[in-house]
Amino acid sequence: MDVIKTVREMRVYADKQRAEGRTLALVPTMGYLHEGHLSLVQRAKTEADHVIVSIFVNPTQFGPNEDFAAYPRDFETDCRLLEEIGGVDAVFAPEASALYPEGAGAQRVWVICPELSEHLCGKYRPEHFKGVLTVVLKLFAVCKPHISVFGLKDVQQYMLLRQLVRGLLLDVRIIGEPTARESNGLAYSSRNEYLTADERSQASVLWKAVTAAAGMIEDGEDRPDTVVEEMRTIIAQAPLANLQYAEVVTGDTLQPVTKLVPGIEVIVAVAVYFRCVRLIDNAFALVPSG
Ligand code: PAF
């Protein structure tokens, strides 16, 4: 497994693979890898000849009061895990100065997509997706993948990245991989590390809430408010949980749904704090027709 640190080296490497006729898959990550990331890598291996994993904690997607400085980092363990699962050809691990040569604070060109960023996490993390879209475009420009794999836990990010590719005519296929979960249903996340044992066990309410909500919709409940109320009730069963949002949005535009119209696909989503640790989860549901 090659470890590549500079933009120039990464470009040369990607050009060489492409010239030799290989398809390239990129799995962008912020490191501190867990089963969720490894499932993205496994998927990438089935979709392309050559797999690149990027590890970069992107400063521009963290708000001023968020956990950029404290975000967990362990590059050696990440590389060991990738070696162990095998099939990863290269790790791209640039310094911040490589992706933001003038400094992250001096970035002057941004990718934004206001409509899809309006609700869910975008409402509470106003600059977050601007940072994500911008860094992923940079990673695409440098790593030159044919395919890129993202987790569906971050469903709004996934939808925005599909829009990035469509809207800017990028020649990259975005793949969404279903959320990998711990045995109690909690979605894998690097931030789970911050939870105490009690919090970790109570955090299964996120999964319970979105699963119950999706089930209600598929069983014919047609009032979004009732579905949201059910998610709130389930989250409230965890005394350490503080709900940030519970929403039902359309599966394509991510706008809040006022009526569950037969045949449409919707997403039920929650964000919950355990102290300062923010966790998210979601599920898709198809509103039954008739
Ligand atoms: O999902 C993540 O880990 C990050 O948002 C990403 C896509 C690697 C961009 O920094």
| Rounded Cα distance, 238 and 232, in Å | 11
**148 CA distance to ligand 1 centroid (A)?**
12
C-alpha 145/C-alpha 126 separation (Å) is 28
Ligand 1 pocket, residue 224 CB under 6 Å: no
For ligand 1, atom 2: residue with the closest CA = 29
CA 158/CA 33 separation, integer angstroms:
19
pLDDT tens for the chain, residues 1 to 290: 999 999 999 999 999 999 999 999 999 999 999 999 999 999 999 999 999 999 999 999 999 989 899 999 999 999 999 999 999 999 999 999 999 999 999 999 999 999 999 999 999 999 999 999 999 999 999 999 999 999 999 999 999 999 999 999 999 999 999 999 999 999 999 999 999 999 999 999 999 999 999 999 999 999 999 999 999 999 999 999 999 999 999 999 999 999 999 999 999 999 999 999 999 999 999 999 97
* Ligand 1 pocket residue status of 30, Cβ below 6 Å: yes
Which of 58, 67, 68 for a ligand 1 pocket mutation test, highest count of atoms within 8 Å of Cβ? Answer: 58
Give the CA distances from residue 57 to residues 9, 117, 120, in Å, rounded to whole numbers and listed in that order: 20, 21, 22
Q: Is 37 assigned a catalytic role?
A: yes
CA dihedral 153, 144, 51, 251 (to 10 degrees): 20
